[in-house]
Amino acid sequence: AQKVTQAQTEISVVEKEDVTLDCVYETRDTTYYLFWYKQPPSGELVFLIRRNSFDEQNEISGRYSWNFQKSTSSFNFTITASQVVDSAVYFCALSEDGKTSGSRLTFGEGTQLTVNP
Amino acid sequence: ETGVTQTPRHLVMGMTNKKSLKCEQHLGHNAMYWYKQSAKKPLELMFVYSLEERVENNSVPSRFSPECPNSSHLFLHLHTLQPEDSALYLCASSQDWVTYNEQFFGPGTRLTVL
């Protein structure tokens, strides 16, 4: 069975600090996808990134960057120069092979990030 | 309207009431999902519809009854709920169910069962 662990329940930083959100996953599939979603106070989950299991290249998008390491089964998310608007709950998720069971996402428990001015 | 919309945004109901949650997606997607988000717990997948056919039912109690009349609309009918059913109910859609497409979420319905 697949599992996603986000060990950090809550993180609080001061604006402009860098912060890394950890995500560790378990799966027996060799083909899988990893996702990060942001849930602001308004409620809807906002898609941030998708990474497939064959692409370990790190990705940067503005102040956001992601570090995917299959050797440690981790897919960590870093926000550089954090801003108050980054305050939200962030979810890491894993999708198993869609050929047999469809696009079923397993979510971690989420990390509540608070960025203080 | 764009994306995924949900109504109502907030709902308070007694245990003997019958109510329905509505979800509508304006993205032309073929798959729709219901999730339950309780405090301090991961999102729980409840139901999946692909091309209007239910393809997943994650051991959800029968007091929750989904309905998908077409590929753009999804309902969750509620009947004789329990206080522990109080949660945020999220609807999502994706291009289709059998690939790795990202899911797009609505804002959710905050349900309180008294």
For residue A30, the model assigns a pLDDT of 86
Q: How many Cβ atoms from other residues are within 10 Å of residue A2's Cβ?
A: 16
Q: Tell me the residue length of chain A.
A: 117
Express each pLDDT in B1-48 by its tens digit: 579 999 999 999 988 889 999 999 999 999 999 999 998 788 999 999
Query: How high is the mean pLDDT in each 10-residue block of chain A (117 residues)?
Result: 92 97 93 93 90 88 94 96 97 78 82 96
CB atoms within 10 A of CB A28: 8
User: Residue A55 gets which letter from DSSP?
Assistant: -
Nearest-neighbour CA in chain A from B50: distance (Å): 9
CA-to-CA distance for B38 and B92, rounded, in angstroms?
A: 16
Residue A94 is predicted with a pLDDT of 92
Write down the pLDDT at residue B101: 82
Beta carbon pairs, A and B, within 8 Å: 64
B95: nearest CA partner in chain A: A103
The beta-carbon neighbor of B94 closest among A44, A103, A109 is A103
Average pLDDT for chain B:
91
pLDDT the model gives residue A100: 56
Contact between B107 and A47 using a beta-carbon 8 Å cutoff = no
pLDDT at B74: 97
Q: Quick one: DSSP state of residue B40?
A: T
User: What's the sign of the alpha-carbon dihedral A63, A64, A67, A73?
Assistant: positive
Q: Is A71 exposed, middle or buried (0-12, 13-18, 19+ CB in 10 A)?
A: exposed
- The answer, for B97 touching chain A at a CB cutoff of 8 Å, is yes
Q: With CB atoms and an 8 Å threshold, state whether B31 touches A103.
A: yes
For B45-91, write each residue's pLDDT tens digit. Answer: 999 999 888 888 778 999 999 999 999 999 999 999 999 999 999 99
- B11 touching A (Cβ < 8 Å): no
Q: Do B96 and A103 touch (CB under 8 A)?
A: yes
pLDDT of residue A101: 61
Strand partners, B92: B33, B105
